[in-house]
Homo-oligomer: A and B are copies of this chain.
Amino acid sequence: MVSTGAGEQAKAPVRVLPGIDHTGNRLLDALPLAERDALVAKMEVRGLQSEEPLYEAGQRIKAVWFPITAIVSLLTTLNDGTGVETATVGREGMVGVAIFLGDDQVPNSRGVVQLRGEALRMDAADFGVEVTENPTLRQFLFAYTRALLLQFGQGVACATSHTVRERLARWMLQTTDRVANDELELTQQFLSEILGVRRASITAAIHELQNRGAITTRRGSIHVVRRDRLAEASCECYDVVSDEYERLLPNA
């Protein structure tokens, strides 16, 4: 494990030593060992706190991130200041694809830490160089961009066609996947902002999921007790997106 206890003190970067057996980020771990080590040598582990912004709409992206235990939301921001989640990024992906795509900002989107944890950080400029010089890395980023496009596209259909309950269940499934942990520490307020609905709508949906025996809740926390029931209450979008990530990152 790369991780020590860096999560406690967000501002204390930890140098990573080459030769570790896996970083914990599946995208990086899919790279050939030598290339991965060279890359990771230029990164550092950071602890990220919930609600912490990683990049803001219309501002320069300073760094790219490869989550390990942290989860990040990509939010499309509207003029009224609200933001709707377009994609979730965990240890299967990276934050800052725009850098790979040759730009250092995105006008309508921001990245926010959703669940605290650790991530590997690399300077945007360094990463830009790396991308031009490393064809294997580029191949994986192509594939990841594809998966992201798919996730965005599914999000559009999901938002128009599915109920809050279905979308919430989907969200919980994909999130617990990424943290490998069935306890989600977050508030209904937070969920309502992510899904772009009222808090009261979240409350109602949570009750339904409780009645179905899928989850239990405490103040500020949701416990997934029956994943299968959550899956029943969810829309197809979960499967579509997670299948694509399996295709992208076989095994591991």
Interface residues of A (CB under 8 A from B): 74, 76-79, 82-86, 97-98, 101-103, 106-109, 139, 142-143, 145-146, 148-150, 152-157, 159-161, 195-197, 236, 240, 243-244
With contacts A101-B142, A145-B101 taken as known, whether A153 is within 8 angstroms of B107 at the C-beta atoms is: no
With contacts A84-B161, A107-B243 taken as known, whether A101 is within 8 angstroms of B154 at the C-beta atoms is: no
Residues of B close to A152: CB separation below 8 A: 86, 149, 152-153, 155-156
By the criterion CB–CB under 8 Å, are A98 and B153 in contact? Answer: no
Residues of B close to A82: CB separation below 8 A: 161
Q: A84-B161, A108-B244, A161-B196 are in contact. List 11 more A-B contacts (CB 8 A).
A: A76-B157, A78-B236, A84-B157, A85-B156, A86-B157, A98-B146, A102-B139, A102-B142, A108-B157, A108-B240, A160-B196
Residues of B close to A197: CB separation below 8 A: 160
Give the residue name and chain of the B residue nearest to A151 (CB): B152
Chain B proximity of A174: nearest CB distance (Å) = 15
